[in-house]
Amino acid sequence: MARFDTSDGLSLNYSDEGAGPAILCLAGLTRNSGDFRFVMPFLAGYRVIRMDYRGRGCSDYADDITTYCVPQEAADAIALLDHLGIARATILGTSRGGLIAMLLGATQPQRLSGAILNDIGPEIAPGGLDRIMEFVGQRPNFPDYDAAADGLKAAQEPRFPRVTRDRWRIHAELIWAQRKDGLDLRYDPRLREALIGQAGAGPVPDLWDLWDELATLPLTVLHGANSDILNADILSRMQARAPDMRAVTVPDRGHVPFLDEAEALNGILTHLKDHA
């Protein structure tokens, strides 16, 4: 792992592995570079860059929580590419990372070779955002990773049937840190305040315009069949506005697929072979 400094003085954590066409991996809202743990073994032949957003993972927390926003995170992503001397990259964006890709597709299209979005679109299905806000900024109620594995398997079984307890334990290790008094967040809990503040700042921007801009680039969208964030209706409307988009539904997955499922891997590797 390495670090670089942003224009406002934060030190952000990133990894830079492999050689070949560049892939910039952008994680989910509360996640970190561990989001891509399961797909990394399949990306040989590419230069894979993973970053922890400000306030997440091993990156610095911001004094000004209003910078926990998509525009700033997009600027940080471009700053990382500049730091590494990378002119263009394919974005592999999970959830929040896909929103960043949409903004960059509209504002910095020359820096993108294309984008692969993991279970996200320009609209969020009803109820999905409410579920996310139930846990953002809330410390998990588990004493250790074993208890978390049991809890995650039980809670997620309807959307992620037959995922093993061992997989959920690894997932828990990636998203939470072990403390003496139990598991804790691997991100700044003030992210919740930032989201609430942004929601109260005015109408939510229409992301469909950004989608139309991103759709001028090579584009693949992965869709968890059981997702409460990206449903089949939204995906269909995305396809109608982006006829060249490749849509891949990953069965037995909610929000978000792990990315090592056969369908997800086929979508990712086909896109990279054709467009990276």
Q: What is the CATH number of the domain that holds 81?
A: 3.40.50.1820
Task: Give the Cα separation of 38 and 171 in Å (integer).
Answer: 10
What letters, b where the CB count within 10 A reaches 16 and e where it falls short, cover 206-216? ebeebbeebbe
Say how far apart CA 31 and CA 85 lie, in whole Å: 25
201 band by pLDDT with thresholds 50, 70 and 90: confident
Mean pLDDT of 78-88: 98
- In the prediction, which pLDDT does 1 show? 86
Which residue shows structure tokens 């700042």? 201
What tokens were used for 40?
A: 């990394």
Cα–Cα dist 94/73, whole Å: 14
Q: Is residue 109 part of a domain?
A: yes
pLDDT value of residue 42:
98
Residue 154 covered by a domain: no
Domain with 41 in it: 2-126+205-275
Q: Is the pLDDT of residue 230 over 90?
A: yes
Mean pLDDT of 56-64: 98
- In-domain check, residue 56: yes
Predicted local confidence at residue 126, as pLDDT: 85
Enumerate residues 6+ apart whose C-beta is below 8 A from 110: 88
Average pLDDT for the chain:
97
Counting Cβ atoms within 10 Å, is residue 190 exposed (0-12), middle (13-18) or buried (19+)? middle
Range list of H helices, 176-224 = 191-199, 208-214
Phi/psi at 212 (5° precision): -60, -35
| Averaged pLDDT, 74-98 | 98
Is 27 a domain residue?
Answer: yes
Q: Is 95's pLDDT higher than 90?
A: yes
The set of residues, in sequence order, having a beta carbon less than 8 Å from that of 162 and lying 6+ positions away, is 252
Say if 159 falls within a structural domain: no
Share of the chain above pLDDT 70, in %: 100
Express as a percent the part of the chain with pLDDT over 90.
Answer: 95
Cβ–Cβ < 8 Å for 101, 112:
yes
Strands 47-51, 11-17: pairing kind: antiparallel
Q: How many domains does the chain have?
A: 1
Residue 133 belongs to some domain of the structure: no
93 located within any domain: yes
> Mean pLDDT throughout 36-42?
98
Measured CA to CA, the distance from residue 250 to residue 227 in angstroms comes to: 10
